[in-house]
Copies of this chain bind each other. A is one copy, B any other.
Amino acid sequence: PVIDLNSDLGEGYGRWRLGDDEAMLAVVTSANVACGFHAGDPATMRRTVRAAVERGVAVGAQVSYPDLAGFGRRAMDVPSEELRADVVYQLGALRGIAVAEGGEVRYVKPHGALYHAAAGDERVAVDVAAAVRAVDPSLVLLGQPGSAALAAAESLGLATAAEAFADRAYTPEGRLVPRGEPGAVLDDPGEVAARMLRLVREGLVTATDGTDVAVRAHSICVHGDTPDAVRMAAEVRAVLTRAGVRVRAFVPGS
């Protein structure tokens, strides 16, 4: 079996850093690089892409609403013309940085509030997919299985990849338990790693009611913004590797 591990990287800004990018680049096979709208000034982006290219980690564009103060987590009602241009702009900027570092952008994963909007709002999903296609139709859209984002991307002819979340509980219907609800976020690295191993092998996750639920995933999203998160991500990779799972990027040709 094969799986990708993705994580948000380059989410500092100027003087500020977030998480341990170096450590995470040793864990993941796909790096969602912030593109300046929620995080990631150009110099940070360039350092992040350079490190990813050096390690052979696939580079993706983590596009966002323009919201530095809110880290892109605040819902915004951005009209289609503006949203599409924002996505094209960020994606283009990261592509410029990637080519300057001898790499290339292979996929797109919306960030924060835009991720959620694209998952549930067809208009936003189509805007994102259309903007991605307008820049490069060979880009892959990474998102939640069953989301409007993946449906829109597929309808526009883009390849897609589905992701699971290592540290999140799932409902019996295969949805994420909303943050804020009890038990929504898992914090035991061993348990999390075992769940992900089962996901990769059997396509199943134990839901909150104890039943098995099918979860389709080409990639597992792990976090690196705290030392505990890095440890959990490393544990997931270690358990998968020991069990013979091949961890590699989901983009074609990896």
Contact = CB atoms under 8 A, between A and B. Distances in A.
Interface of A: 11-18, 36, 39, 41-43, 45-46, 66-71, 74-79, 81-82, 84-86, 88-97, 99-100, 113, 131, 134-136
A126 to B, nearest CB: 15
Contact of A46 (B17, B88, B91, B100): B88
A90 B11 CA distance: 19
A42 B95 contact: no
Contacts of A45: 85, 89
A173 B46 CA distance: 41
Contacts of A113: 77
A81 to B, nearest CB: 6
Contacts of A90: 93
A23 B120 CA distance: 42
Contacts of A84: 46
A113 to B, nearest CB: 8
Nearest to A95: B92
Nearest to A39: B15
Contacts of A13: 13, 16, 68-69
Nearest to A75: B77
Contacts of A42: 69, 82, 85-86, 88-89
Contact of A76 (B12, B39, B74): B74
Contact of A88 (B18, B77, B89, B96): B96
Contact of A70 (B69, B82, B91, B131): B82
A96 B14 contact: no
A93 to B, nearest CB: 4
Contacts of A97: 85, 88-89, 92
Contacts of A36: 89
A134 B88 CA distance: 20
A15 to B, nearest CB: 4
